[in-house]
Structures are given as structure tokens and as C-alpha cells.
């Protein structure tokens, strides 16, 4: 048996699980939207606009954006923790990542509810 001292609040487990759940959400959205777009090809503005005018599509897209934000945050944080050894630089890059991802979500809301 490995004698391991377990400390902390298990943030790693929560993020690990969140990354996988958000991945599944995005995968389902991707397949549905890809199918709709491919079945309606070639795409015209009227159809494109009508697709994103529907309530369920807006909510689904927002759900996708929030999933992406959480998923991408965990992923980028892992990358930065692996390769950027200098604390100050890593913190700066992590803050920039959060700002970038936050801006993505804001932009998505702006596009969807114009």
C-alpha cells in the first residue's frame, strides 16, 4: 500500500472531471451543429441567421462557450504548469489566459443576443 498523505481540497480531481464532462458536452454540440450545417449546404444568410435566432440554439451555443471556457482553462493551465517554470511569468500568462477566455465568452453572448 502506498502511504500517501492526502492534503488540499482536491481541486485537481474536480478540474480533471470538469474537463471531461465539458468535452462530452462540446462533442455532442459539434456533431449536432455539423450535421445541421452539412444537411443545409450550401449555406445562405437567411438559413444561417435563422439557425442562431432559435432559442435552443442560442442556449446550446452559450453552453458550448461556457464548456469551452472551463475546458480550455484547465488545458492551458496544465500546459503552463508543465512548461513555464518561472512563477511570475506563469502567473502573468495564466491571468492573460483567463482574460482571453473571459473575453471569448463575452463576445459569444454579444454575438448571440444582438
Partner 1 sequence: MSTASSAKKLRPKYLTLPAILFEIRLPLPGWISILHRVSGALLVFPLAAWLLYLLDASLASEAGFERIRAHYLQMVSVKIGLLVFIWAYCHHFCAGIRFLLLDLNKGIELRQARISSVIVLIVSLALTVVFGARLW
Residues that bind partner 1 (CB under 8 A): 20, 23-24, 27, 30, 41, 43, 45, 48-49, 52, 68, 72, 75-76, 79, 97, 100-101, 104, 107-108, 110-111, 114
Whether the CB-CB separation of 57 and 18 falls below 8 Å is answered with: no
CB under 8 A, 24+ apart: contacts of 35-41 = none
Query: Which of 18, 76 has the CB closer to partner 1?
Result: 76
Nearer to partner 1, 5 or 65 (CB): 65
Cβ 111 to partner 1, closest distance in Å? 5
**How many Å separate Cα 63 from the centre of its chain?**
9
Least distance between partner 1 and beta carbon 43 (Å): 8
Task: Tell me the C-alpha distance between 71 and 21, whole Å.
Answer: 9
Rounded to the nearest whole angstrom, what is the least distance from the CB of residue 100 to partner 1 in the complex?
7
Query: Residue 43 in contact with residue 37, Cβ under 8 Å?
Result: yes
66 vs 75, which CB is nearer to partner 1? 75
Which is nearer to partner 1, 3 or 69 (by Cβ)?
Answer: 69
Q: Please say whether the beta carbons of 68 and 25 come within 8 A.
A: no
Amino acid at each position: 500500500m502506498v502511504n500517501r498523505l492526502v492534503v488540499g481540497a482536491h481541486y485537481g480531481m474536480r478540474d480533471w472531471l470538469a474537463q471531461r464532462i465539458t468535452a462530452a458536452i462540446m462533442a455532442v454540440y459539434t456533431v449536432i451543429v455539423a450535421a445541421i450545417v452539412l444537411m443545409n449546404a450550401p449555406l445562405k444568410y437567411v438559413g444561417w441567421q435563422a439557425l442562431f435566432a432559435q432559442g435552443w440554439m442560442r442556449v446550446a451555443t452559450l453552453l458550448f462557450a461556457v464548456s469551452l471556457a472551463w475546458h480550455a482553462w484547465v488545458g492551458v493551465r496544465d500546459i503552463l504548469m508543465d512548461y513555464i517554470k518561472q512563477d511570475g511569468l506563469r502567473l502573468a500568462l495564466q491571468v492573460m489566459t483567463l482574460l482571453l477566455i473571459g473575453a471569448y465568452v463575452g463576445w459569444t453572448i454579444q454575438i448571440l443576443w444582438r
